[in-house]
Amino acid sequence: MTDTVLTPPPGVIIVFSDIWCSFAHLAVHRLHATRARLGLEHRVSFDLRAFPLELLNDAPSPRPGTDSEVARMASLEPAAGWQLWQAKDWLYPSSTLPALEAVQAAKEQSVAASERLDLALRKAFWAESKCVTDRKVILDAAAATGVVDVAALTRALDDGRARRALSDQAAVSRTDLVRCSPHLFLPDGSDVPNPGIEVRWEGAYGVGFPVVEKDEPMIYEDLLLKAAV
């Protein structure tokens, strides 16, 4: 494994993340919002890759930890869409692997399809309390984008053609090259974990709560402009 694997071509930002990571939800929202504000939609794209926390931690993400993050992260970026889990307890996702695989499968159609599906699945979980483990939720999110070919995505999920990519990305995530969700990699060879945010935990994860000690959202302008060049 070499650093060149994580150096994208000009106009691309590689984003390693998980869907049920609140810091990634915030980062992906800021990437999309800042790109639109700068008018760079046709000059910068996002190569979304999986940082599957459940494989790295050998367990699903604990709901108490996720719940403890919502209020604090929502205060930083309300427009991303947030709410405490509102659906039945048994509908809480047990895995994000099906959703992460679907995002990789959508790349076969286009980068834009992958980006839009990824964003839709994050909103389905964080803002709408939908079980992104559920295949129907994934396909409904795909249909709602208006960009993803749902029939083609269904075929891709049926034959598992994106599963190898997901496994390869999980293997990279286990190395020292990728530190966390989210971790961004730029065309100039630089990389930025959890852009602009410094956080510590008060108490144990799932018992205490995150304390954000620094938040610099303007870093996203710099990142996007660097990628565009």
User: pLDDT per residue over 114-142, tens digit each?
Assistant: 999 999 999 999 999 999 999 999 999 99
Residue 2 has a pLDDT of 39
Q: How far is CA 21 from the centre of its chain?
A: 7
Does a structural domain hold residue 58?
yes
Domain containing 71: what range?
10-228
The reply to whether 108 falls in a domain is yes
Burial class (CB in 10 A: 0-12, 13-18, 19+), 126: buried
In a domain, residue 3? The reply is no
DSSP state of 3: G
Q: In this structure, how many other beta carbons lie within 10 angstroms of the beta carbon of residue 61?
A: 20
> What pLDDT digit, counting tens, does each position of 14-49 carry?
999 999 999 999 999 999 999 999 999 999 999 999
Say if CB 147 and CB 116 are below 8 A apart: yes
What's the average pLDDT block by block, 10 residues per block, for the chain (229 residues)? 73 97 97 98 98 94 90 94 96 97 98 98 98 98 98 98 97 96 97 96 87 96 96
Residue 206 pLDDT: 81
Q: Is residue 47 a part of any domain in this protein?
A: yes
Query: Which CATH number covers residue 47?
Result: 3.40.30.10
Residue 4 lies in a domain: no
Q: Which two tokens stand for residue 105?
A: 């499968």
pLDDT of residue 204: 85
Q: Residue 2: inside a domain, yes or no?
A: no
pLDDT at position 5 is 77
Q: The whole model's pTM is what?
A: 0.95
Residue 175 lies in a domain: yes
Residue 152 covered by a domain: yes
Burial of 111 (0-12, 13-18, 19+ CB in 10 A): middle
* Count of the separate structural domains present in the chain: 1
